[in-house]
Structure 1
Amino acid sequence: MALTPMIGEGQLRVTHEAPSEPPDTRSWLDGAIVFDHRRWSCREAELTWTAPSHLIVLTHTGKTARTRVSCSGELVYDGRDGPGALSFIPAGVERSGSYREADLVYSALWLDHAQFKREGSAETLPILVNRADAVITTLLTALHDDIAHGSKPDTAYVEHLAAVAMHRVMALDGAKPPPATHGALGKVTLRRVQEYVEERLGGEIRLSDLAALADMEIDSFARRFRAATGMAPYAFVIERRICRAEQLLANADHEIALIAARLGFSSQSHFTTAFKRQRGMTPRAYRQQLFS
């Protein structure tokens, strides 16, 4: 059924569920991060669910006549769902919900607790239901738009997005966010990270691996890397791939599709989109300019 959460276990009862298109689902880090976008419509539904992953849900469009949500047996929301409604359920928390006259288009971001354990535990993370946050809304909407246009965003980008979203979740609860680590990465650490990236431009580069090289948490590493280079880690990876692509495009014997595969892009279309965003022209146009 369309409402069935992808991760975890529980019970579900739905009446008069309307047919819908298959969900659009993507995953990264061997399933540690899962993004799921779908439409769901029914007259009435009840569910009880527990998952080993944190869950962030954003309603894009649509509404419910009534939504009631309880977590660990305590009622946390009784009202309606609508555009912009944002919820966060920590891993391991039992969620019970009832929905009437539901017709919703929403995105769900599942974050494996083991991967994001440094961000908090079920005991310290807040439970948020039908709140609002412009930053998380923008992040999830942009992620969906990228996927809808046929690209699979880089792992480092999605890791950074997830870390920012978790940071915002804490701020929404009124809790103080983790203390910022000021200052840029040291020169030795920065060089080690840069060399790691250069050696692996053709494969998957994880933000968590880059942070581990610096012996830092993801959020702290991303801030200090930006302070040292002027760009986010994922943006640096893309820029280095585009720079390498420029070198390869200078050789007319290298086919564009093979360059895309060699540099870790999911497809030639993904490569073309990234190259045009960075250089203002397609790879083909860049090559033509070189040989004109």
Structure 2
Amino acid sequence: MTQTATALGNAPSALARILDRAPPVAAGSLRGDTRLTRPWGHGALHDHLPAMVGHVIITYYGEPQEILWRTGGDRLLSTTRSGSITIIPQGHDGDWDIAGPIGVSHVFLSDERLRAGAGQIGGGDEVELLARVGFDDPVAARVMEMLGREADVADSSSRLFVEQATDLLVTQLLRGHSSRGAIQPAEARRGLATWQVKKVTAYMRERLGAPIGLDDLAGVAGLSRYHFCTAFRQATGSTPHEWLVRLRIERARQLLADATLPVTDIALSVGYETPSSFAAAFRRISGTTPTAYRRSL
């Protein structure tokens, strides 16, 4: 379902009205009035999202959640996970159901920039993006992760990097998710069942400050160590270690909101024996240091 751009609303503002917090849009816009967010998170969602100006591209971090979008008579159902993206093309409205808290980053891509990219590829600028939900595209997801890490960096070299990475994202969208060409959905993922992923994740969350071994996690899922590692990656797109690190950093972000807690104590509480190892892991996931993150709150 599409509408003319003049009848639509600003995308970040429209999302802010239905989510439990507003998207943390980085200051300053890119070429063509395109905007970015750093990685962030919001809670469960059960609401109608009106049609918006521009295209909204989303990638995911952390624990997978079931996501459903009903739009224009279509019912798009998937699971949020690392390596997947969602595309809300300009002018598409619909009803959204997201089962629980999710980690995300956004690119608010202007139609002007999309069509400029189409013009550079050749063949005119008549192009439409396809609606996608939790669609496997590790290339686009990886580019968006890089953009998320650079979203709040203000120096000129970062700006150049971000502009070029955005052009790369536009090219991938045009060749894989548009009326010009489309990646076909992959076969259903094999691996852990949703209940197994949730059970393993809950086990990790309850023991973030303690050593957690692969044998322990495999036992929780009821598999051998070898089959567990393979099945976990198939189900989530991440290794168990990567998953655990993200959970630890997610918890650390929550604790950093309490200014009375020393960073060293927070590091210990989420499983890091030294401030330096904690800071390195935090920066790798969040793109900034724990202290800088706390100052930004």
TM-score scaled by length of structure 1? 0.46
Give the structure with the higher percent helix.
2
Between the two structures, name the one with larger relative contact order (CA 8 Å, sep ≥ 6): 2
Scaled by the length of structure 2, the TM-score of the pair is 0.46
Larger Rg: 1
